[in-house]
Chains A and B, each alone.
Chain A
Amino acid sequence: SQTIHQWPATLVQPVGSPLSLECTVEGTSNPNLYWYRQAAGRGLQLLFYSVGIGQISSEVPQNLSASRPQDRQFILSSKKLLLSDSGFYLCAWEGQGTSYEQYFGPGTRLTVT
């Protein structure tokens, strides 16, 4: 069966510090991968999606970036965090050829202080 992992589970970082969040998927090949952010009390906002290694589409201009160095690995990064980057970051995978069912990881709760 397929599983999706995210780490760390929680993170507290000062403003201006770098960020690296990792997401890995097991049990499937060539998944579509997604990064979402959820601010407190709000709905989910799509940040990035990837249909393959090295292929990244950005949905929202911001100081975040994403990379997909391996088929089942998706990384969210920032060089300098802002207070507004605080939130719940969720990674999701979607199988190829499905009708867009997405399966979410446990999330990373980021607090920028």
Chain B
Amino acid sequence: DAKTTQPNSMESNEEEPVHLPCNHSTISGTDYIHWYRQLPSQGPEYVIHGLTSNVNNRMASLAIAEDRKSSTLILHRATLRDAAVYYCILCRRALTFGSGTRLQVQP
């Protein structure tokens, strides 16, 4: 299965943009790029997904490199409620969760 690589942790200040990177150099042409986030003691929450083009929704934006070997989740204005573990996942049949990036947001 194709794997993803994310930094273990990142910090941001409240109301500043956050760029969460993800490398997926072995991605195949049919893999969707999904992002989920998980708050403590809760199940993961779907954030956004894309295939080739950049995507925007009410929660975030997803920027996908032209060669699709990397992507970046963008939170435009971080809030304290955005503090969570963010998972970048390549999806074929089921989601394979790695260890993700723990995002800390400072007030």
Please give the distance in Å from B27's CB to the nearest CB on chain A: 14
Interface residue count on the B side (C-beta < 8 Å): 21
Interface residue count on the A side (C-beta < 8 Å): 22
**Residue on A with the closest CB to B85?**
A43
- B40-72, CB under 8 A of A: which get 1 and which 0? 011111100101000000000000000000000
Are A106 and B42 in contact (CB-based, < 8 A)? yes
Please give the distance in Å from A12's CB to the nearest CB on chain B: 16
Are A44 and B95 in contact (CB-based, < 8 A)? yes
Complex: A69 Cα to B68 Cα, angstroms: 40
The one of A43, A46, A100, A107 in contact with B34, judged by C-beta atoms closer than 8 angstroms, is: A100
Please give the distance in Å from B45's CB to the nearest CB on chain A: 7
**Residue on B with the closest CB to A109?**
B41
Please give the distance in Å from A55's CB to the nearest CB on chain B: 13
Are A99 and B43 in contact (CB-based, < 8 A)? no
Please give the distance in Å from B62's CB to the nearest CB on chain A: 13
Are A100 and B95 in contact (CB-based, < 8 A)? yes
| Residue in A36, A45, A92, A100 with the greatest tally of chain B CB atoms within 10 Å | A100
The reply on A52 being an interface residue by CB < 8 A is no
Complex: A47 Cα to B92 Cα, angstroms: 16
Complex: A46 Cα to B99 Cα, angstroms: 14
**Which B residues between 88 and 106 are near A, CB-CB below 8 angstroms?**
91-100
Please give the distance in Å from B4's CB to the nearest CB on chain A: 11
In the bound complex, residues from chain B placing their C-beta under 8 Å from that of A104 are 43-45
The one of B43, B91, B99 in contact with A90, judged by C-beta atoms closer than 8 angstroms, is: B43
The reply on A34 being an interface residue by CB < 8 A is yes
Complex: A104 Cα to B98 Cα, angstroms: 17
- A70-109, CB under 8 A of B: which get 1 and which 0? 0000000000000000001010100000011111111101
Closest 6 CB pairs of A and B: A104-B43, A44-B97, A43-B97, A100-B91, A90-B43, A46-B94
Chain B interfacial positions (CB closer than 8 Å to A):
32, 34, 41-46, 49, 51, 87, 91-100
